[in-house]
Chain A
Amino acid sequence: GQQLNQSPQSMFIQEGEDVSMNCTSSSIFNTWLWYKQEPGEGPVLLIALYKAGELTSNGRLTAQFGITRKDSFLNISASIPSDVGIYFCAGQPGQNFVFGPGTRLSVLP
Chain B
Amino acid sequence: GAVVSQHPSWVICKSGTSVKIECRSLDFQATTMFWYRQFPKQSLMLMATSNEGSKATYEQGVEKDKFLINHASLTLSTLTVTSAHPEDSSFYICSAYQGLTDTQYFGPGTRLTVL
**A and B found bound together:** no
Question: Interface of B with A (CB < 8 Å)?
Answer: none
Question: Interface of A with B (CB < 8 Å)?
Answer: none
